Amino acid sequence: MSSNKKLMILLRGIITENPVLILVLGTCPTLANTTSMFQAVSMGLAATVVLIGSNFVISLLRNIIPDTVRIPCYIVVIAAFVTAVSMLLQAYVTPVYDILGVWLALIVVNCIVLGRAEMFARKNGPLDSALDGLGMGLGFLLALLVMSTIREVLGAGTILSGMTAFGIEAIKIPVIYDLRMPFLVESSGGFLVFGILIAVMAKITEKRGGLKRKSFSCEGCPSAHICHKTSCSEVTELAAEAFDVAVENKEIEIENTEEKEVSENA
């Protein structure tokens, strides 16, 4: 394969198929870990390492893993990498381990990691898969960095906060610090900034003929193999219909029994 194509695999994850801003995968860690730039970079790097490792190993095992039990196998591989990364962080970079907390373990259920295993690693060679992992990881990191910069600068009025353990003091930005909007570093600000960023990306890509934009789909869903449906909305609509039918049946039953009682009384 030419080096040009390899470069394309790498760049695709960063820009045209950015996992967060275009594919809208991994929303939970994105919203929770962008209150400060330090936390965002920590999360991005940890997820990148897991992505590269899991994509590489899953690609190596792609001919060995039986198709029917592939998702549990992927989850075990991913969980192994997450455990390794969190143990390394706890031993060598404890401040990072502390700031990420439970989110480190939750990389296991990050849709991006499982999504890339399902979409890319199981169909491609180990080197390409590792490159894809690197590209997607960097795309995730970049999206987190952009979002956290907006939230930290406008919400807290500082940059580089939370890094006192490394001997770096937070820098207060002179005018913005007095005008800061604290709600931006809370969860509501996360939703707002994320929504606006996706809309801005949609606006930019619209002019270039529009990139393929996906809504919540089954591709990245860890449960897709069990539920055998093409999209969640279909599944839930089916459920709603079943619910309606059940309620109707119940009502008919009740009516019937009432009628019976009335006729018996008569």
Partner 1 sequence: MPDISVIISLLLAGILTDNYVLARTTGICPFLGVSKKFQQALGMGIAVIFVIMCATAATWPIYTYLLVRFNLTYLKTIVFILVIAALVQFVEIVLKKFIPPLYKALGVYLPLITTNCVVLGIAEENIAKGRDFMTSIIASFGVGVGFLVAMIVFAGVRSRMENCPSPKPFKGIPITLVAAAIVALAFGGFKSIGG
Binding site for partner 1 (CB under 8 A): 24, 27-28, 31-32, 72, 75-76, 79-80, 82-83, 86-87, 101-102, 105-106, 108-109, 111, 114, 183, 186-192, 194-196, 198-200, 202-203, 206, 215-216, 221-223, 226-227, 232-233, 235-240, 242-244, 246
Residue with smaller CB distance to partner 1, 11 or 79? 79
Smallest distance, partner 1 to C-beta of residue 17, A? 16
Give the span between the Cα atoms of 26 and 32, in whole angstroms: 11
Least distance between partner 1 and beta carbon 114 (Å): 8
Q: Which is nearer to partner 1, 127 or 196 (CB)?
A: 196
Alpha helices in the chain (DSSP H): 3-14, 27-32, 37-60, 70-92, 94-100, 102-105, 111-116, 126-151, 174-178, 187-207, 224-227, 232-265
CA atoms within 13 A on the CB side of 27: 16
Residue 92 CB, shortest distance to partner 1, in Å, is 16
The 10 Å Cβ neighbour count of residue 79 is: 16
Residue 101 or 166 with smaller CB distance to partner 1: 101
Query: Toward partner 1, which CB reaches closer, 168 or 199?
Result: 199
Q: Long-range contacts: 85-91, Cβ < 8 Å, 24+? A: 85/46, 85/49, 85/50, 86/46, 89/46
**Residue 88 vs 127, nearer CB to partner 1:** 88
* Closer residue to partner 1, CB minimum distance, 199 or 254: 199
The answer to whether 155 touches 180, Cβ cutoff 8 Å, is yes
Please name the residue that has the structure tokens 């820098």: 171
Both tokens assigned to 209: 């003929």
H or E stretch including 63? Answer: none
Least distance CB 172 / partner 1 (angstroms): 24
DSSP state of 157: S
Tell the smallest beta-carbon distance from residue 104 to partner 1 (Å). Answer: 9
Q: Shortest distance, CB of residue 95 to partner 1, whole angstroms?
A: 17
